[in-house]
Amino acid sequence: NAGVTQTPKFQVLKTGQSMTLQCAQDMNHNSMYWYRQDPGMGLRLIYYSASEGTTDKGEVPNGYNVSRLNKREFSLRLESAAPSQTSVYFCASSATKNTEAFFGQGTRLTVV
């Protein structure tokens, strides 16, 4: 019963390095999302994908790119990491609108 799986769980990057956060869901959900959580800020939407082959910007997309590789997988890429991207990143998926979203366990990213 995996649900939403994110890798890695922890990562430390140097400023300017790149990396990709991976996310996969096994619930056959159409929609997938990437959020970041910062202290005192709640969760903010970075990018989302309403269906395979489509992606759209959320509230805080600058500095990120995404790929909806197939229905199961939705990756988030940082091309040139900055200290302001230090955060906890959550991937989520939902079946349709007006159904609950299921979240992964998060990736704690530190950019030094």
Partner 1 sequence: DQQVKQNSPSLSVQEGRISILNCDYTNSMFDYFLWYKKYPAEGPTFLISISSIKDKNEDGRFTVFLNKSAKHLSLHIVPSQPGDSAVYFCAASAIGSQGNLIFGKGTKLSVKP
Q: Which residues bind partner 1 (CB under 8 A)?
A: 4, 31, 33, 35, 40-45, 48, 50, 56, 58, 90, 92, 94, 96-106
67-75 long-range Cβ contacts below 8 angstroms, 24+ apart: 68/32, 71/28, 71/29, 71/30, 72/24, 72/25, 72/26, 73/22, 73/23, 73/24, 74/23, 74/24, 74/32, 74/33, 74/34, 74/49, 75/20, 75/21, 75/22, 75/23
Q: Which is nearer to partner 1, 28 or 98 (CB)?
A: 98
Q: How far is the CB of 37 from partner 1 (least distance, A)?
A: 9
Q: Which is nearer to partner 1, 87 or 94 (CB)?
A: 94
Q: How far is the CB of 4 from partner 1 (least distance, A)?
A: 7
109: nearest Cα among 82, 79, 89: 89
Q: How far is the CB of 6 from partner 1 (least distance, A)?
A: 8
Q: Which is nearer to partner 1, 18 or 65 (CB)?
A: 65
Q: How far is the CB of 105 from partner 1 (least distance, A)?
A: 5
